Amino acid sequence: MARRNPFELIYDPETVGHLLTIDLKHHRLIKRTIKENFSFEPEIETRNRKPLLRPSSLGVDWELRLGPDNRFRVFYRTDFAGHAVHILAIGVKVGSRLFIKGKVFEL
């Protein structure tokens, strides 16, 4: 059986600012979960990984929910031709509102 190569994970430069608004104690969990979920089958729908139902202003197609109470959201797009996953936004869900870089964000 042939071994598959993992997808390259490409973080948008803006995601650094997104992570700065999240407690440092959660950074390792977020990065580990991104690597585990996006390395081989980033567009397989799971309980916490879903395609977005409508187009986003960020140009993302998928959302990953993770962390305590699934409060963190990672928004990404897959480039199959380049064998890469582009992580474009990381946010925090509080109630029905999504915060990215500390500001309320509408998808």
Residue-wise pLDDT for 42-90, tens only, equals 999 999 999 998 877 778 889 999 999 999 999 999 999 999 999 999 9
pLDDT of residue 2: 53
Smallest Cα–Cα separation from 61: which of 35, 37, 42?
Answer: 42
Does residue 30 lie within any of the structural domains? yes
| Domains identified in the chain, total number | 1
Does residue 3 lie within any of the structural domains? no
Whole-prediction pTM value? 0.91
- Report the 3 state secondary structure along the chain: CCCCCCCEEEECCHHHHHHHCCCHHHHHHHHHHHHHHHCCCCCCCCCCEEECCCCCCCCCCEEEEECHHHCEEEEEEEECCCCEEEEEEEEEEECCEEEECCEEECC
In whole angstroms, give the CA distance from residue 78 to residue 41.
Answer: 10
**CATH number reported for the structural domain that contains residue 31 in this entry:** 3.30.2310.20
pLDDT band (50, 70, 90) for residue 106:
confident
Does residue 91 lie within any of the structural domains? yes
Does residue 2 lie within any of the structural domains? no
Does residue 1 lie within any of the structural domains? no
Domain around 18: 8-105
Does residue 99 lie within any of the structural domains? yes
